[in-house]
Amino acid sequence: MKILTVFLAAALAPVWAQPLQFPASFEQLAAKATESTNVNLDAAMLQAAGKIADSQQKKSGPLVSSLVSNLKAVQVRTFEFAKEGEYNDSDVAPIRAQLKTPEWSQIVSTSNKKEREGAEIYFHRAGEKIIGIVVIAMEPKELTVVHVDGEIDPSKITAMGVPDVASKIAYDLSRQVPPAGTR
């Protein structure tokens, strides 16, 4: 799950908007977790990473820097626990509350009650543009929240040749979700 989450964060990173406020309870979760990851990349760090990636992929041109050029930030929080039940829905509720505005659309919601797993994907749109995304992934012993703040053109992910179903899904869904305020 960790590799998939990091890959999803990288693939979808260019799609986010508006800073997400992580609740204070996340500090308590980090203290309880056997392993936690806390990633905060601002626009300058993303630009630098894009240039480094482009220099290593000279034949493809400046695709990565183009992909991250309109990003403001990428935030990732991952918590892994020794046993089930170390976190609950109330820990994620403050995140979901921030996404209950007309600008945000929940485009994916999966739930497996037997396995106690689920995932949610939210898009923030401004007209036809995607300017934010949030992914919440939950497993019995793991919780991950990924937030990308900034505008992205999903077709750029495809142009990079990223062999990732999630990027295609994100692109296809972005074409189907009506702009905010038109629902």
Q: How would you write the pLDDT of the chain (183 residues) with one tens digit per residue? A: 554 444 444 444 443 345 689 998 899 999 999 999 998 888 888 888 777 766 766 655 566 667 777 889 888 999 999 999 999 889 999 999 999 999 999 999 998 888 889 999 999 988 888 898 899 999 999 999 999 899 877 766 555 554 444 444 444 444 544 555 554
Output the pLDDT for position 166.
Answer: 44
Distance CA 67, CA 69 (A): 6
Distance CA 167, CA 65 (A): 17
Measured in Å, how far apart are the chain's first and last C-alpha atoms?
34
Output the pLDDT for position 182.
Answer: 52
Output the pLDDT for position 159.
Answer: 56
Output the pLDDT for position 178.
Answer: 53
| pTM for the predicted model, two decimal places | 0.73
Q: In the numeric block, which tokens belong to residue 74?
A: 């990428």
Output the pLDDT for position 128.
Answer: 83
User: Side by side, which strands form the sheet with 142-152?
Assistant: 35-42, 71-80, 142-152, 129-139, 117-126, 104-112
Output the pLDDT for position 122.
Answer: 93
CA distance readout (Å), 22 to 54, 78, 79, 90, 136: 31, 12, 13, 13, 12
Output the pLDDT for position 139.
Answer: 94
CA distance readout (Å), 27 to 14, 30, 79, 159, 176: 26, 5, 10, 38, 37
